Chain A
C-alpha cells in the first residue's frame, strides 16, 4: 500500500532528507518547505520505504503538489 505525501502549502523545498528506497519511520522528517519566512517540516505519514521522490532542493511547489510516495 502506498501513501502520497502532499504539500500542505505553496513554498520552496529547502531540504530533502530522504533517498529513494530508504526506510522511514512514521513522523520522521523527510522534507522541509520554506514559506512566509518559516520552515514547515514534512513528516513521513507511516513506517515504510520511500518509493518516489518528486521534488528536489530549490523546487517551488504549490499546495497539494505530490512531494513523495511512501510504500
Chain B
C-alpha cells in the first residue's frame, strides 16, 4: 500500500503577505486569551501548600513526581481546570493526562498532595471516571501516583455515594483489569479509607517506605464510639487523647509488605518508587510503531504557528479549515474523501507521526451556488446539510471497517432547520451518523475549534459518543451551547413580548430578561467554563494541537484491540476509484 500513503496529495498553501498583515490582530488576541488560560492553569498548580513546604517534609509534590516519571516532552495534561462543583480549592485534586513512561504511552493520574494531603474532593470521582474511560478506550496502562488522605469530611455528601460517586472508580479499576489493562500504583503518604481502596485496587503496588494503606485511619480507629453528641467535657477528653495518642497508623509497610504482602515492592526513596513504575512500563505490551506506520513521520510543510492567524476568535468570521489542517498533519498531505460532495464538511485520510488517521471537520463560509441542492437558500459552512451528513456517515463507517482512528474538528452552528430541511431527511441523517459512530469501534478524539452547538455537537463525535471519544479539546475560541444566547432569548421571550404589548405593559422588564439570558449564555459557554464543567477535557494552545494529535495517534496504535492489515483496507481504494 506504499503508493497510497508514502506520498499523499499535498494541500494547504503558504500565507501571503496581505494575509499575514491582516492577521496581526488575531495573533495578539490568541496570545492574550491563551495567557488567561495559562493563568488559570498556574492557579491549579499553585493550589494548597507551597512546594517548598512539602519538600521540607521530605516529600515531592505530585507535580515533581509526574515530572520525574513522565518522559520529557511527552506530557499532555487533561482535566487541569476541571472543577464542576466549584471547589474552593480550585481543583478536583487529581492531576492527569497522557504521557510516555519508558517510551510507552500511558494514562497517568496522581493525587495533589499539596491540597489536604490528596483528599477526595467533590467532582474528583467523575474526573477519575473520565481517566479510566480514557485508558479503556485507548487500551493504555493506567499509572497511579497515590497519596490520598481520604474524603474531605465536611463535604462527603457531594461525592461519597451514588452511581458515579467515589466508590465507582474501584469498579472501573476492576473493569480495566478484566479487559487486560494493567494498573500500576506508586503509593506515598497516609492512605486511609478511600485512600486505602485507591491503593489496593490497582494491579501492582509500589510502596514508599513511609506509606500506609488501610480500611480506616488512626483517627477512626481511636474514635469509633458515638455517644449522641458532643459537650465540653467530651471535647476536653478528646484533646487529652489526641495529645497522648501515639499509635502508628494502621497498614504500614510492616503490615502490608512483611505480613500481607500486598505491596509488591517497597522503596526507601521517593524517586525509587517512580523508578519502579518506569521499570515495569518497559515491559508493557506495545507494538513497535513500525508495525502500524504507513510512512516515515514528517513535520507539516507549513508552520503550526500559522494556526494563530488562520482561526479567528471572532465567531462570525469565516476561515479556511483546510489551511488549518494542513498545519497539523504530516507533510501537509492528505487523501480527501468525496471532495465534490458535501462541501460543508472535510473528510480525508492524513498521517500523524506516520500513523494513518481520519480527519473530519466543518468547513466555513459560503458554499457556492446551488448548495444545498434541496433548498432555495444559500448554504453556509459550519451548518450541516444533507450531503455532508451522508458523507460523514459513509466515511465513519469505512474508517470502522479499516480500523482507522478518527480526529474530529468541530466548528458548527448546527444542522440545517426548517420544513425544507426536514423533507431532506436531516433529522434522520443526524441520528444515522450517531448510529454509524456507535457502530464504528475505533478511538476518536475531538477538538472544538470554535463553536459546538445544537445537535451537530452531538453527531460529530463529541463527548456524547461515550464509548468512542477518548478526549475532547477546546481552544481559546471554543464556545459550546445549545444555541446562541440571543437565539435562546428570542425563543424564550418572543411570545411573552407579544402578550405584554397586547396588555399595554412596559416591555422593558422582558427586554432586560432577554439581555440577561443572552449574557448568561455567553458567560457559560466560554473556554474556562467549558473546561471547568467538563464540556471539554482541556483547553489547548492552538500551536499545541498537533502534540495532542500525536499523543492520540501514538496511543491509539500502541496496542489496538483490533487491526486491519494495510493491504486489506478498502477506504483508500474507494477514494482512488
Interface residues of A (CB under 8 A from B): 8-10, 24-29, 34-41, 43-44, 63
Contacts and interface: CB of A to CB of B under 8 A. Distances in A.
8 contacts: A25-B18, A28-B21, A38-B316, A38-B364, A38-B380, A39-B317, A39-B318, A43-B18
Contact of A35 (B17, B19, B364, B366): B366
Nearest to A10: B378
Interface string B349-380: 00000000000000011100100000000101
B468 to A, nearest CB: 30
Contact of A36 (B16, B19, B21, B378): B378
Contact of B366 (A9, A27, A37): A9
Given A26-B18, A27-B17, 10 more contacts: A25-B17, A28-B18, A29-B22, A34-B316, A36-B380, A37-B413, A38-B364, A39-B314, A43-B18, A63-B369
A40 B318 contact: yes
A10 B378 CA distance: 9
A35 B316 contact: no
Contacts of B413: 37
A26 B382 CA distance: 26
A6 B202 CA distance: 65
Contacts of A39: 314, 316-318
Nearest to A34: B316
Given A40-B366, A41-B317, A63-B369, A27 B378 contact: no
A24 B18 contact: yes
A38 B318 contact: yes
Contact of B18 (A9, A27, A37): A27
Contacts of A40: 318, 365-366
Contacts of A41: 317-318
Scoring A9, A24, A38 by chain B CB atoms within 10 A of each residue's CB, the highest score goes to: A38
Contacts of A36: 378, 380
Nearest to A8: B366
Nearest to B369: A63
Contacts of B22: 27-29
Interface in B15-70: 16-19, 21-22
Given A8-B366, A38-B380, A25 B316 contact: no
Contacts of B314: 39
Contacts of A37: 316, 380, 413
Contacts of B369: 63
Contact of B16 (A8, A26, A35, A38): A26
Interface of B: 16-19, 21-22, 314, 316-318, 364-366, 369, 378, 380, 382, 413
Contacts of B18: 24-29, 43-44
B513 to A, nearest CB: 22
B21 A35 contact: no
A40 B21 CA distance: 18
A63 to B, nearest CB: 7
A26 to B, nearest CB: 5
A26 B17 contact: yes
A43 B318 CA distance: 12
Nearest to A44: B18
A27 B317 contact: no
Contacts of B21: 25, 28
B384 to A, nearest CB: 14
Contacts of A35: 366, 378, 380
A25 B18 CA distance: 5
B465 to A, nearest CB: 27
A9 B317 contact: no
A38 B17 contact: no
Nearest to A7: B366
A28 B364 CA distance: 19
Contacts of A27: 16-19, 22
Contacts of B19: 27-28, 43
Contacts of B366: 8-9, 35, 40
A34 B317 CA distance: 9
Nearest to B383: A36
B319 to A, nearest CB: 9
The 8 tightest CB contacts between A and B, nearest first, are A28-B18, A25-B18, A27-B18, A36-B380, A27-B16, A27-B19, A39-B316, A9-B366
B134 to A, nearest CB: 35
B296 to A, nearest CB: 33
A16 B397 CA distance: 46
Contacts of A8: 366
Contacts of A29: 18, 22
Contacts of B365: 38, 40
Nearest to B381: A38
